[in-house]
Chains A and B, each alone.
Chain A
Amino acid sequence: MTSRSRSVELIEAAAILVIAGFFYAMTWSFVDPPVVDERALRPTTFPRLILGAIMLLGVVRALTALQTPANLTMELPWDRVVLATAVLSLVYAIAARYLGVFLPTPFYIVALAWLWGARSPLYLFIIAFGVPLAVWLLFEVMFRSQLPLGPFSG
């Protein structure tokens, strides 16, 4: 296994071109205000310059990818646990939005730690309840920052 792969690099280059191209096309949707000074940059100029440069470099990446031997394979650090971690973290953020941060936090911590192989009930208990307590002390008590409490606010 190497860190090179023609197919991965071509997909990468294509993604760069497509995404940069999308945003480049978006610059035509900017509402153009009246020109105050002809010499100044228009709001579309700089983004187009940057996105154009990114697209050009995307082409360079594509050309580089075509020079990569076709027989090389690459193992990406991506598996079901990574996907599950991403999904679980997204669900936690959404849950925190509607239920407040203190309710879903213990469940998230235990679920993710369990997913990653943690099996000690004592340590899981400590972090599941210790972390919300620490967060409350730090944010609410020390720094007086208002945290979202969801249905428990007010």
Chain B
Amino acid sequence: MHESLAGIAAAFSLEMLLTVVVGVLIGVIVGALPGIGPVVLIALMLPFLITFDPTTAIVLCACIYVADAYGGAITAILINTPGTPSAAATTFDGYPLAVQGKAAEALGVAAVSSTLGGLFSVFVLLLAAPLLARVAYHFGPPEYLALTIFGLTMIASVSAASPVKGAIAGLVGVFVATIGADFTSGAERFTFGVPELIEGVGFGPMMIGLFAGSELLYQASQRSVAPQLIAETAVKLPSRETWRKVLPTIGASSVVGTLIGILPAAGSTIASFVAYAEARRWSRNAENFGKGDIRGVAAPETANNAAAGGALVPTLALGIPGSGVAAIILGTMIIVGLRPGPTLFQQQPTFLWTLFAALIVANLVFLVMGLVGARLFARISLIPAAYLWPPIFVLCVIGAYSLGQTWMDVWVMLAFSVLGFAMRMLNYPLAAAAMGLVLGDLFEQSLSQTMILFQGDLSLLSQRPIAIVFLFIAAGALAWSVAGMLRQPARSSASAES
């Protein structure tokens, strides 16, 4: 009990409040800038985060994560360009509302919906994560093996481009995790005789290259697209009539978003689209969606923020990332010395309560920031890419170097920039590769330990009910994906993959 009070009190210290405000501000600004998502930002911040106190570092990352989803809504509504993929669904009705002169109302509903969705998921996180951790405390290597298989299967199943591409991307991440000295025997694997690779590929340089470096090349191909601001307007809080209209949608989308966020690999983007589709499906005036229905803003904005908190549930409790952003937060936690999983809840309860309280404060802070500063954030998003991205790449090079003070990390970053760009060109999900990298070590270690435990006979997994449940769900998800692929109609020349 005293740890929870100590943790909550720490969240309200001057230092932590400043961290929350800075994290939210950066998150909203970055969310408003297309191409720079929380993953890119956190990857670039890694050289700084390792110098911070671990609690401050993770609270900063988490606040960026929850605020970023709202930042994307500002440009989605005012410029018809989602600042983040999770705000793409917000453009469907947000931009038409802006064109109709109702941008203030749309921004107000987006801000309030995001806050309520975020708060709901933090309370679920507060309740569910400790419970899940308590169950996970009894997990052994077989359960972790099944869990990583489940996580990797989900990566493939929820991949928007294609399950096969999602699976390949995830497995590439797992493969990269094998580079370096084998943890059991010390045998060098795929090091090409380079001493710096004996400890493996750095998580930071890989993330910086995969997301930020590849984005530089992608932005080079998009430089001719110039956004235009449809309206400059203050933000209006919802009227009583609007509240009546959107409240049921917010309630339902909070649940949808949180549950989807809890699923490994699903993330905010899927949550926002599912919530939008459900809001439309259950509406009596579905034909209004896509033309400026305010519920079309409330649903995705609630869900994408709810998914952020939901994604932290498996991340903290099991060490399995709930989304691509959660994967980099998980990696950052490991770098700063916090090992997610059941032992975190036993050994670091104060840190967890500080994080939970800080997230609640963060959701309220970005509500205020959104109401006050939406116009400014919209203006920031109009900074031309030609002035924005060269400095960002400079930070990529310097950041990659300063992580380990070795130029090998810079070459690794460059290599993954090219790989990441190739993956983008061919519609391979980068987040899947990041999650595979994070899960790779756990996968191999749990498989090895399970083999030792079962004397090499994996059929004994059938004696572990929790493992069987995870494997059953994984098999079901895989079967569903394969069935979906087989059901796909013959390709037409007019179809485009999302």
Residue numbers of A with Cβ under 8 A of B are 2-4, 8, 12, 16, 23, 26-27, 30-33, 36-43, 46-47, 50-51, 53-54, 57-58, 60-61, 64, 67-69, 71-72, 76-79, 81-82, 85-86, 89-90, 92-93, 96-97, 101, 105, 108-109, 112-113, 116-118, 123-124, 127, 131, 135, 138-139, 143, 145-148
Contacts and interface: CB of A to CB of B under 8 A. Distances in A.
Given A2-B493, A146-B405, A135 B394 contact: yes
A31 B188 contact: yes
A9 to B, nearest CB: 8
A57 to B, nearest CB: 5
Given A33-B185, A47-B190, A41 B172 contact: no
Contact of A43 (B164, B187, B496): B187
A108 B394 contact: yes
Interface in B412-445: 414, 417-418, 424-427, 443-444
B474 to A, nearest CB: 14
Nearest to B407: A97
Instruction: Give the interface centre of A26, A41, A47 by most chain B CB atoms within 10 Å.
Output: A41
24 contacts: A2-B494, A2-B496, A31-B187, A36-B185, A40-B448, A41-B184, A41-B447, A43-B189, A47-B190, A50-B174, A57-B167, A76-B425, A77-B424, A78-B221, A81-B223, A86-B418, A89-B213, A105-B394, A116-B385, A116-B389, A118-B386, A135-B394, A143-B51, A147-B402
Interface in B482-498: 491, 493-497
A33 to B, nearest CB: 4
B455 interface: yes
Contacts of A33: 185-187
A64 B185 CA distance: 39
Nearest to B220: A85
Interface of B: 47-48, 51, 164-165, 167-168, 171-172, 174-175, 178, 182, 184-190, 213, 216-218, 220-223, 384-387, 389-391, 393-395, 397-398, 401-402, 405, 407, 410-411, 414, 417-418, 424-427, 443-444, 447-448, 451-452, 455-456, 491, 493-497
Given A30-B188, A97-B407, A116-B385, A12 B426 contact: yes
Given A33-B185, A41-B184, A127-B387, A93 B397 contact: yes
Contact of B452 (A12, A37, A54, A108): A37
Report whether over half of chain B's contact residues are helix, strand or loop; otherwise say mixed: helix
Instruction: Give the interface centre of B217, B223, B390, B405 by most chain A CB atoms within 10 Å.
Output: B390
B223 A117 contact: yes
Contacts of B175: 23, 47, 50-51, 54
Contact of A127 (B390, B418, B426, B497): B390
B315 to A, nearest CB: 23
Contact of A46 (B178, B391, B398): B178
Contacts of B417: 89
Contacts of B401: 96, 101, 147-148
